[in-house]
Amino acid sequence: MIVLKGDIVRTSSGVTGEVTDVWGVARAWLRIQSGVGIHYALETDVAEIVKRPKRKSPRERR
């Protein structure tokens, strides 16, 4: 599953929050901002993407 910055995700450990940073080459690491604090997780630990922000079309970006 591909996780993008800005997604609201739920991990297998039950943490729900917004992805604030994604980095890594062979393994993608995520920094997740939840109501409790900042958590770090691998992309493979994501159980589901709760919400993904709507992307703007190229015409709206101008």
pLDDT at 1: 82
The pLDDT, as a whole number, for residue 27 is 93
Q: Which pLDDT value is given to residue 53?
A: 86
DSSP-assigned letters across all residues of 23-62: E-SSS-EEEEE-SS-EEEEEGGGEEEEEE-PPPPPHHHH-
Which pLDDT value is given to residue 56?
74
Residue 46 lies in a domain: yes
Owning domain of residue 22: 8-52
**Position 57 in a domain:** no
Per the domain annotation, does 18 fall within a domain? yes
pLDDT tens for the 62 residues of the chain, in order: 899 999 999 999 999 999 999 999 999 999 999 999 999 999 999 999 999 988 777 777 66
| Any domain includes 2 | no
Domain count, the chain: 1
